[in-house]
Amino acid sequence: MRTLILGGVRSGKSRHAEHLAVQHGGSVAVIVTADAGDEEMAARIAAHRARRPAHWRVIEEPIALGRALLQLARPDSVVIIDCLTLWLSNVLTRSEGRLLEPESAALLAALRSAAGSVILVSNEVGAGVVPVNELARRFTDATGSLHQRLAAACDRVVWMVAGLPLTVKAPQAGGSSAEGSST
């Protein structure tokens, strides 16, 4: 089962991903993409860490998500990737965008071939105004394109609003997953 969870900042995306992972019942690995560049971000990261069960495997990977996903994915497991918009920021700012397409392609390929279940978490940024600077426009464009590609590759897409999950795309009856709606 491949699940994409989208929503605004503080909409409950990560909590919902964690809830789905617990429901899955198998082992859980989390790939986190955030760097603590300031005190506020460090506090956010600490809150996420404190909320996760201690036995979950957590790795930090700011760029090579496809490679990390393939390393962690197991048939009886679930891998959470949190968060794709922070990952896109890393890719755009650290490589001046040169790694955007190859790393996006690697992530999509890994998503399609990874064993087990995968839950992707990302902020929806395209519902606001068009940004005034070039980097911000590249970021919103890249986010929208990535979300469309991921949504096409995922079995389920969930939109989070005020902590409530709204299913945008549901697994097809008789689909490839025997897990039904558990992840």
Q: Is 24 a catalytic residue?
A: no
pLDDT at position 34: 86
pLDDT at position 179: 38
pLDDT at position 180: 39
pLDDT at position 35: 81
Residue pLDDT, tens place only, 46-97: 888 888 999 999 999 999 999 999 999 999 999 999 999 999 999 999 988 8
16, 24, 48, 147: the catalytic one is: 48
pTM, rounded to two decimals: 0.90
99 and 91 Cβ atoms separated by less than 8 Å: yes
Q: For the chain, which ranges sit under pLDDT 70?
A: 174-183
Domains defined for the chain, CATH in brackets: 2-169 (3.40.50.300)
